[in-house]
A = this chain, B = another copy of it.
Amino acid sequence: MTTDSWLGGAAAIATLTFDVDAESPVLAAGAHYAEHLMTMTHQSYGPDVGVPRVLDMLDELGVPATFFIPGWVAQARPGLAASVVERGHEVAHHSYAHRAPTSMSEQEEREDFARAMAVFARQGIEIQGHRAALWGSRWQTPELVAEHGLRYDSSLMADDRPYRIGTARGELAELPVHWSLDDWEQYAFLPEPHIGSVIESPVKALELWRAELDGMRHYGCLFNLCCHPFLSGRPGRIMALRRLVEYALECGDVTFMRCRDLAAAVLADPALTARPLPEPPSYP
């Protein structure tokens, strides 16, 4: 491994990412949920209580992070994105209305994408990367990301190491995600709309993520953790997340990066070659 590798000499790279969805996933499931007061407060806890608590924790630990914010959320809470950038973290694109591209027409996806870009432009927030709502990318999504001049995407699962995607509108770094590195599967519970059924102990989530981190240190991977402030911002969970970061720091061979900085390293890594996406598979 050379020093110009995306790993930069580390055993694994860690990107802490926070999807600040607020009410948008619930309202995308049904606009009438706006009338459900408890449900709305369940979601507003994320930006209002979780995000400040996460920002403080990151300060205390001295690690950077990336916040994926739907444009609608940034618009409804005008100071939110700036409060993240001011603390040295990155804000990235997470759709406008938190609807999956696979649930929209190509035209709807294009309009939703541009609308979020416009919100951030008005707020003076520079955007370099994108994560699809619900990770629900269509085959055309990466090209759309490149078309807007972004450098990376973080929605796909073809590897557990970053890779490069060639599109007709330019090249992207892909920083892959996975269900097992998402706090939603461990913590989300809401009967209506149904977003999950099991509430795991933070002890279990920590055990799972630490096992994955150790495996990724063995194999030289990207530990791309996806957390949601309305879930991981709660007291017992953020303490577990803090312990996870402390463990990674103690390992001494894990580097924490903002996604944009990792993407730059990936795009500059001479060992990685951009490949165009294959055709969708043909099935009998």
Contact = CB atoms under 8 A, between A and B. Distances in A.
A42 interface: yes
Given A159-B49, A284-B72, A201 B211 contact: yes
Identify the 4 closest CB pairs spanning chains A and B, nearest first.
A215-B235, A212-B236, A211-B236, A41-B158
Interface in A188-218: 189-191, 196-204, 207-208, 211-216, 218
A157 B38 contact: yes
6 contacts: A45-B160, A49-B159, A180-B199, A180-B234, A214-B236, A216-B236
A216 B197 contact: no
Interface string A128-146: 0000101111110110000
Contacts of A42: 157
Interface stretch (A27-35, A85-93, A254-262, A263-271): A27-35
B283 A72 contact: yes
Contacts of A187: 180
Q: How large is the interface on A (under 10, 10 to 19, 20 to 34, 35 or more residues)?
A: 35 or more
Interface string A77-104: 0000000000000000000110000100
Interface stretch (A1-9, A13-21, A61-69, A237-245): A237-245
Contact of A160 (B38, B203, B207, B235): B235
A37 B101 CA distance: 10
Given A185-B199, A189-B185, A211-B201, A141 B179 contact: no
